[in-house]
Amino acid sequence: MEKDKEQTEEEINESHESQDVDDSKEGNIDEINSENIDEDAESEEEENIKETEEDILKGEIKILKEEKIRVLAEMENLRKRFEREKIDSIKYGSVNFARDILSPGDNLERALSAINEEEEHPQSIKNLIEGLLMVKKELSTALEKNGITKIDSLDKKFDPNLHQAMMEIENNDLDEGIVVQEIQSGYMMHDRLLRPAMVGVSKKPQKDAEVEPDKELKSDNDVSDKEAKN
């Protein structure tokens, strides 16, 4: 009997011990699972942090690229503007001097135009005229060499961009707005206006201007009468 009791007690102890082992195993498994879950959560957080950092870096790189492109474009525009200004300074840097030199040329032309070609002059005066003509020719050559050309105005249509109207001259043979007299020559410097030409412009006589509206009115009345008859 005592042996049986001891045997049963041993079996009970063994069952308890096995249960404790199983419980400890389950506890260890739970701990391992919880640790794995924590590690997975931490790894996910780390991945999310890495992704956000990559997105931030990509955004900064994109901004830097755009700023670089904008800076390069601005530098290219500045370079082109400086080149244009350099070219303009070379082409038009002497514009004030060119305007000043036109006045002696005007006086020279007035002096030559005042000479009566039909009149007989002594040799000294003839030599003077020839000298003035040579000076005029050399001046014209120097102006053309520097891109300064005279505006051809006579018998041309009045252009407010090139001409300055000083008077109106009645002329029945020409249309209105034709340059019939040049008081002062105009000049261009390359493609810019250096000085407008002072001109006289044609216009119809006052009587003809009054008759033309009457003719138009009469023709309109004739047309209206014909329509009324029809």
Domain of 176, CATH number, reads 2.30.22.10
Q: Please tell me whether residues 61 and 135 are part of one structural domain.
A: no
Q: Summarize pLDDT for 115-132 with one digit per residue, the tens.
A: 887 788 788 888 888 998
Q: Range of 193's domain?
A: 150-230
My answer on whether 49 and 98 are in the same domain is no
Rounded to an integer, the average pLDDT of 38-65 is 75
Looking at the fold, whether 3 and 79 belong to one and the same domain comes out as yes
CB 201 within 8 A of CB 169: yes
Q: Is the pLDDT of residue 187 over 90?
A: yes
Examine the pLDDT at 104 and tell me if it is beyond 60.
yes
- What's the pLDDT at 165? 92
pLDDT 10s digits, 139-167:
989 888 888 999 999 889 999 999 999 99
211 and 138 fall within a common domain: no
Q: At CB < 8 A and 24+ separation, what contacts does 145-150 make?
A: 146/94, 146/98, 146/189, 147/91, 147/189, 147/190, 148/98, 148/187, 148/188, 148/189, 148/194, 149/187, 149/188, 150/185, 150/186, 150/187
> How confident is the model over 178-196, as a mean pLDDT?
91
Average of per-residue pLDDT values in the chain: 77
> Which domain-ending residue is among 105, 121, 146?
146
How many structural domains comprise the chain? 3
Please indicate, yes or no, whether residues 66 and 100 belong to a single structural domain of this protein.
no
Please tell me whether residues 2 and 78 are part of one structural domain: yes
What Cα–Cα distance (Å) separates residue 150 from each residue in 94, 156, 160, 161, 182? Answer: 17, 14, 16, 14, 12
Asked if residue 121 and residue 78 are part of one domain, the reply reads: no
